[in-house]
Amino acid sequence: MRHVADHVPNARMQEIPGAGHAAPLTHPEALAEALYEFFSPAQQPT
C-alpha cells in the first residue's frame, strides 16, 4: 500500500487501525466513513 501511494500521483492512503483484509466485516462503520470521505468531493457541483 505504501509503495503504491508513493508512486501514484495524487494517491491517498488511509489506515483503519485494527482492520485487516476483512474490514467490511470487522470494521464496517470505519470503512464506510473512509469511503464517504474519499468519494464526497466527487459529488460536489462543478
Res 43: pLDDT: 72
Domain region containing 36: 2-43
d(CA 24, CA 41): 22
| 13, 16, 30, 31 from 22: Cα distances, Å | 17, 11, 12, 10
Q: Is residue 42 predicted with pLDDT exceeding 80?
A: no
Number of independent structural domains in the chain: 1
**Type of residue found at 24:** P
Q: Which three cell numbers stand for residue 19?
A: 482492520
Q: E strands along 1-46, which residues?
A: none
Q: Is residue 6 predicted with pLDDT exceeding 80?
A: yes
**Type of residue found at 19:** A
d(CA 17, CA 39): 20
Res 1: pLDDT: 83
Render pLDDT for 16-32 as a digit per residue (tens, 0 to 9).
999 999 999 999 999 99
* pTM summary value: 0.71
